[in-house]
Amino acid sequence: MASLVGSRVERKEDKKLLTGRGKYTADVNFVNQTYACFVRSPHARAQIKKVDTSKASKASGVVAILTGADIANDKIGGLIAGWRIKSEDGSDMKVPAHPALANETVNYVGDHVAVVIAESLDEARAAADLVKVDYKVLKAVVSTKDAMNSDQIYKDIPKNMCFDWLLGDRAKVKEAFDNADKIIKIDIVNNRLIPNAMEPRAANADYNPSTEEITLYTTSQNPHLARIIISAFNGVAPENKLRVIAPDVGGGFGSKIYPYAEEVVCSWAAKKIERPVKWVADRTESFLSDCHGRDHVTHAELAVKNDGTFLGFKNETIANIGAYASVFATVTPTYLFGPCATGVYKMPAAYTNVKAVYTNTAPVDAYRGAGRPEATYTIETLVEKAARELGMEPSEIRMKNFPTQFPFQQTLVHSVDSGDYGAGMKKAMEIGDYGGFEKRKKESESKGKLRGIGFCTYFEACGIAPSPVVMMLGCGIGLWESAEVRFNPTGNVTVFTGSHSHGQGHDTTFAQIAADQLGIPIENIEIAHGDTDKGPFGYGTYGSRSLTVGGTAIVKACDKIVAKGKRVAAKMLEVSEDEVDFKNGEFVVAKSNKKKTIGEVAFACYLPGTYGEVKSPLPEGEEPGLKETSFFDPVNFSFPAGTHICEVEVDPDTGETKVAKYTAVDDFGTIINPLIVEGQVHGGLVQGIGQALYENCHYDESGQLVTASYMDYTMPRADNFTDFDLGFTCTPATSNPLGTKGCGEAGAIAAPPAVMNAVIDAIGTEISMPATAEKVWSALNKSKNKNSEAA
Amino acid sequence: MKTFNYHSAKDVKEASKLASSNSAFLAGGMTTIPSMKLGLATYKDIIDIKGIKKLSGIKVSGKTVRIGATTKHVEVANSKEIKKAIPSLSALAEGIGDPQVRNRGTIGGSIANNDPAADYPSACIALNAMIHTNNRKIDAEKFFRGMFETSLKSGEVIEAIEFEVPEKSSYQKYPNPASRYAIVGVYVAKHKTGVNVAVTGAKSCVYNEKNLSQVLTKSFSTSALDNVKISSSGMNSDIHASAEYRANMVKVFAKKAVEAC
């Protein structure tokens, strides 16, 4: 049987998803169901003086109205920060209380104040309008840059600072800078983004008073994590009395990794009123209350020799984490950001200092790439500027500083197991026809357009992650993954994974892996995920981890199946175990025609009766059944890398900037399904280019979200793009048996600097993201005026 | 959405009679319904005029193109007769919103709503349109009064819009990258009697950019526009475009339109 790993198998899940037969949380309905509508703060910062529900509670169809006082009375715990970061001075990070329904204060527009539960959605909404909240409005803190010098939001958190974190060695960096020929400096902003998953968040909680069990359907990338948090921290129900199901989920991009207030409230309320409670966010709620991404202000410096050798790197960043510290809000701008900020390069000395600040904006958490896009944008715009200032080719300065020996001990944390950055660069220049750029530039000029080219060479640490390492760094959970491979008696298989597919195509990729490992057709394999009552505990999907960590767990569980199968087959074939080989789904005995298929062995394991002369196929002490579980904890992160080259065309009359050519060459290690990987790259690029040219979350000075709908928040669309030219190199990862590295985040990591470097090349002046038409036009005018003044 | 009474009017007379200060006519509903869903507008009565046959249809004579009020954008976009008589008008309709909007939205709805960034009002100004209602005929120049404001009176129903066929014309717009409404849209039409340059998106209401109209009436060429200064005074300024940027875009897109004529 030909290997399925490496084949372009069409996605098994698409028939269901593309024909409207998916089942999402909003599709789930219970008998006697009620509908929740949240009363949200219209103010960015205010004290709650009084919540008056008297009028609302008399409105038609109202079942219950619950407030912060009720949730406090029931001792339901608040939302948590999942990763403990220590400041440079050794002190712990500072975290404000984050009740699931606000009690004394509200801290961003959209903050959850009360919930109205009614017989119908319309009645819930109408009654929510009647809940009167008496606010004392306070001055909001909005600006990332000025947060430390603004009014103090929380009594116990001076300078609005969560932590002041350092990674690296300031003294060594100073020494390196003292010896530099030239110091390159940049001041950049990593613009704030709103994730905009296609499916809005939703929850539907059902409580059974006789068993005291809550079943919570929710839009989660990680139902097991939701269960443990809602049980252990919020205290809504013990884990054995809480079942969390994340059915089909329409995208997450990080924003659905962890439970939000709404899931906690619906679960608690369902138990309280003994009826199911359903909530589905409308799009405005999604804009206001989904965790946002990015939002950094960075000053960075690179010390170089005149020949382009890098000597040292400094990174001073302010990271806005919004009004509260969300679950992965504190790790995103630290351990996911700092180590990668030195890029792929040999960097003798480096440090990253991050001051995380609270503001009166929605919480900011992991968003596709989480920390690594910010890191890559920093180093790659800096390196390109160094090339310009030193008069070097962008490829030359990079090649000069690439490591060539692997494993490569990267400056700040990681030991990178494998890679070949030069090969990626060469291939990208070849596919992207770098040599033909000048000709294309002339063609653009003949049409009155400006053309620029930009490079980005990135690496990222994903395959998240070795549990002992992350727990040592402050993570509140392990990050291993589980798999259970269950043969059914008739020889087909269900694979349970603790990861979760919400667009990644696990039903296909994981089945390809299991089909190869077990030698059975892919049609005979189902992948099950997303239900805490099915399969073992797992850690879900984010950080490009599912294949590398979860896929490996499947391989390991299959190995155990084969090992048991060998013992059983040996007994059935009346030979010793070491005479049995497993090949293409068959247990064979060398130099004989004796064999048993894995299906026959599975059947025998479930029906261990007499088989010919053999009284029982099970060796003495062997249990019946054929089901194995594996928990895989990786020994290292994985390190995808690559080179992206972008060409843009700018219309100087309007400032409109279009991506004219985009080449991405990535090293994802072994590729299981190129079709799915290419789709992931395309999606990542669109998000990355979206950040560079279009998307921007904008709060006004009073903390109102101006970009709270698609009228004002520019989502990239198909007509904004050109075709992408993709290429791959492969240095297999050594930290997992598949050799995979992960591909989900790469596009979003690499694209912003590639695009922005191209824009800067085209217009000859630095500019911040997103490079909207007006910004580009103004920048061009400014430099035109400067030039005419100089002349 | 708050509850309301739904009426399907069988003719214009009935529609007009049902109207009150707390009612809205419903044709495509492309603005009315989202506004109601978002709670920005509430009405006691919704009067559906889609069923009134005489309000829909296209009539092209030698000098004019008459389009019934409830004619959908897609019909204008696809009309062979309009494409021949005023190709820029079909092109404008083809560029409104997305296929869903074009399959429901109507020309009457668009001009009655008078969104400052809508496309059709610029066509009305540039093409010397006459707005026919159940009571009177209104000159386009007098019809658009301000932001979301027209000279329509309560109970007055737009029946048709009659455009003058120009010698040549073109509509060029720079769409808002998020909403795809015009940040600036410029409709240039050259008539025997002179040139109109109608601008949408730039100010609180569509207007005839007289500076440009006069210059182009004298000499219909892009170079004639080179030295014209467009003032940013009174222009919209928002997170997508400043007044200065819009002023620049009016000129850039006027040139594009002249070039495309």
Q: What is the DSSP string of A82-111?
A: -B--B-TTSPBP------SS-SSEE-STT-
- Helix H or strand E segment including A50: strand A46-52
Question: B237 and B154 in one domain?
Answer: no
Distances (CA, A) of B61 to B86, B194, B223: 11, 21, 34
The domain A480-632: what is its CATH number? 3.30.365.10
**What confidence tens digit (pLDDT) does each residue in A340-399 have?**
999 999 999 999 999 999 999 999 999 999 999 999 999 999 999 999 999 999 999 999
Instruction: State the average pLDDT over residues A571-585.
Output: 96
DSSP class of residue A620?
Answer: T
Instruction: State the average pLDDT over residues A221-228.
Output: 97
Instruction: State the average pLDDT over residues B252-261.
Output: 97
Question: B98 and B224 in one domain?
Answer: no
Does B245 reach chain A within 8 Å, measured CB to CB?
A: yes
What 3-state class would DSSP assign to A281?
Answer: coil
Going by pLDDT thresholds of 50, 70 and 90, the confidence category of residue B113 is: very high
Question: B102 and B19 in one domain?
Answer: yes
**CATH code of the domain covering residue B243:** 3.30.390.50
pLDDT computed for residue A791 by the predictor: 53
Q: Which residue has the tokens 């059983």?
A: A568
In this predicted structure, the answer to whether residue A789 has a pLDDT above a threshold of 70 is no
What is the average pLDDT score of chain B? Answer: 96
Burial readout A748-764 (b: 16 or more C-beta within 10 A, e: otherwise): bbbbbbbbbbbbbbbbe
Going by pLDDT thresholds of 50, 70 and 90, the confidence category of residue B101 is: very high
Cβ separation A653–B177 shorter than 8 A: no
Which residue blocks in A650-772 are alpha helix, DSSP H? 674-693, 746-763
Closest residue in chain A to residue B246, using alpha carbons only: A774
In this predicted structure, the answer to whether residue A37 has a pLDDT above a threshold of 90 is yes
Closest Cα in chain A, distance from residue B20 (Å): 25
Percent of chain A residues topping a pLDDT of 90: 97
Query: Phi and psi at residue A553, in whole multiples of 5°?
Result: -60, -35
Q: Which of B115, B230, B249, B250 is most worth mutating to test chain A (most A CB atoms within 10 A of its CB)?
A: B249
The domain A296-464+636-790: what is its CATH number? 3.30.365.10
Separation CA A743–CA A740 (nearest Å): 9
Give the domain range for residue B185: 168-260
In this predicted structure, the answer to whether residue A1 has a pLDDT above a threshold of 90 is no
> Which of B38, B178, B245 is facing A774, going by the closest CB pair?
B245
CB A451 within 8 A of CB A444: yes
Question: B137 and B99 in one domain?
Answer: yes
Residue A527 pairs with which residues in a beta bridge? Answer: A495
Q: How many CA atoms lie within 13 A of A372 on its CB side?
A: 28
In this predicted structure, the answer to whether residue A612 has a pLDDT above a threshold of 70 is yes
Q: Is A296-464+636-790's fold the same as A480-632's?
A: yes
**What confidence tens digit (pLDDT) does each residue in B203-235 have?**
999 999 999 999 999 999 999 999 999 999 999
Closest CA to A636 of A380, A330, A406, A425: A406
- Helix H or strand E segment including B84: helix B80-85
Cβ separation A656–B174 shorter than 8 A: yes
Residues of A with CB under 8 A from a CB of B: 122, 126, 284, 653-656, 694, 698, 706-707, 710-715, 720, 772-774, 777-778
Token readout for A249 is 């989920």
Q: Where are the domains of chain A?
A: 14-138+201-280, 296-464+636-790, 480-632
Percent of chain A residues topping a pLDDT of 70: 99
Burial readout A542-558 (b: 16 or more C-beta within 10 A, e: otherwise): bbbbbbbbbbbbbbbbb
**What confidence tens digit (pLDDT) does each residue in A773-784 have?**
999 999 999 887
Going by pLDDT thresholds of 50, 70 and 90, the confidence category of residue A585 is: very high
Separation CA A473–CA A468 (nearest Å): 9
- Residue A219 makes CB contacts below 8 A (sequence gap 6+) with A24, A25, A197, A199, A200, A201, A202, A203, A246, A249, A250, A252, A256
Question: B159 and B44 in one domain?
Answer: yes
**What confidence tens digit (pLDDT) does each residue in A722-756 have?**
999 999 999 999 999 999 999 999 999 999 999 99
**What confidence tens digit (pLDDT) does each residue in A179-197 have?**
999 999 999 999 999 999 9
Question: B172 and B90 in one domain?
Answer: no
In this predicted structure, the answer to whether residue B128 has a pLDDT above a threshold of 60 is yes
**What confidence tens digit (pLDDT) does each residue in A475-506 have?**
998 999 999 999 999 999 999 999 999 999 99
- Residue A402 makes CB contacts below 8 A (sequence gap 6+) with A344, A345, A346, A421, A422, A425, A457
Closest CA to A562 of A540, A581, A538: A581
In this predicted structure, the answer to whether residue A572 has a pLDDT above a threshold of 80 is yes
CB A205 within 8 A of CB A211: no
Quick one: CA dihedral A652, A654, A655, A661, positive or negative? negative
CB A90 within 8 A of CB A164: no
User: What's domain A14-138+201-280's superfamily in CATH?
Assistant: Aldehyde oxidase/xanthine dehydrogenase, a/b hammerhead (3.90.1170.50)
Going by pLDDT thresholds of 50, 70 and 90, the confidence category of residue A785 is: confident
Question: B236 and B142 in one domain?
Answer: no
Quick one: CA dihedral A713, A718, A723, A726, positive or negative? positive
* Domain's final residue, options B164, B189, B214: B164
Cβ separation B178–A778 shorter than 8 A: no
Would you call the peptide bond into B87 cis, given omega within 30 degrees of 0 as the criterion? Answer: no
Residues of chain B contacting A773 with CB distance shorter than 8 Å: 174, 177
CB A737 within 8 A of CB A747: no
Closest Cα in chain A, distance from residue B178 (Å): 4
Question: B141 and B186 in one domain?
Answer: no
Does B237 reach chain A within 8 Å, measured CB to CB?
A: no
Cβ separation A713–B178 shorter than 8 A: yes
**What confidence tens digit (pLDDT) does each residue in A270-325 have?**
999 999 999 999 999 999 999 999 999 999 999 999 999 999 999 999 999 999 99
Provide the edge-to-edge strand list for the sheet that holds A132-137: A105-106, A46-52, A132-137
Closest CA to A307 of A156, A449, A181: A181
In A101-208, the DSSP E strands lie at 105-106, 112-118, 132-137, 161-168, 182-190, 202-208
**CATH code of the domain covering residue B83:** 3.30.465.10
Question: B174 and B131 in one domain?
Answer: no
pLDDT computed for residue B54 by the predictor: 95
* Domain's final residue, options B164, B191, B212: B164
Token readout for A741 is 């590295």
DSSP A211-259: TTEEEEEE--S-HHHHHHIIIIIT-SS-GGGEEEE--B----TTTTSS-
Cβ separation B178–A711 shorter than 8 A: yes
Residues of chain B contacting A720 with CB distance shorter than 8 Å: 177
Separation CA A560–CA A502 (nearest Å): 28
Q: Which residue has the tokens 């560029």?
A: B95
Question: B195 and B134 in one domain?
Answer: no
Distances (CA, A) of A543 to A190, A549, A640, B141: 19, 11, 12, 59
Separation CA A708–CA A624 (nearest Å): 58
Does B40 reach chain A within 8 Å, measured CB to CB?
A: no
CB A191 within 8 A of CB A692: no
CB A425 within 8 A of CB A395: yes
DSSP A430-450: HHTTGGGHHHHHHHHHHTT-E
Question: B177 and B158 in one domain?
Answer: no
Closest Cα in chain B, distance from residue A453 (Å): 23
pLDDT computed for residue A136 by the predictor: 98
3-state helix, strand, coil in chain A (%, to 5): 30, 25, 45
* Domain's final residue, options B164, B192, B215: B164
Closest residue in chain B to residue A125, using alpha carbons only: B1
Angle between helices A372-390 and A746-763 (to 10 degrees): 30
pLDDT computed for residue A694 by the predictor: 98
CB A195 within 8 A of CB A281: no
Closest CA to A194 of A718, A690, A752, A755: A690
CB B241 within 8 A of CB A774: yes
Is the pTM of the predicted complex or chain greater than 0.90? yes
Compute the radius of gyration of chain B from its Cα atoms. Answer: 18
> Which of B178, B239, B252 is facing A710, going by the closest CB pair?
B178
In this predicted structure, the answer to whether residue A94 has a pLDDT above a threshold of 60 is yes
Angle between helices A773-790 and B243-260 (to 10 degrees): 100
Instruction: State the average pLDDT over residues A167-177.
Output: 97
Q: How many CA atoms lie within 13 A of B251 on its CB side?
A: 18
Separation CA A113–CA A128 (nearest Å): 11
Q: Which residue has the tokens 């200064």?
A: B229
Would you call the peptide bond into A124 cis, given omega within 30 degrees of 0 as the criterion? Answer: no
Question: B121 and B136 in one domain?
Answer: yes
Separation CA B246–CA B252 (nearest Å): 10
What is the average pLDDT score of chain A? Answer: 97
Number of domains in chain B: 2
Query: Which amino acid is it at B49?
Result: I
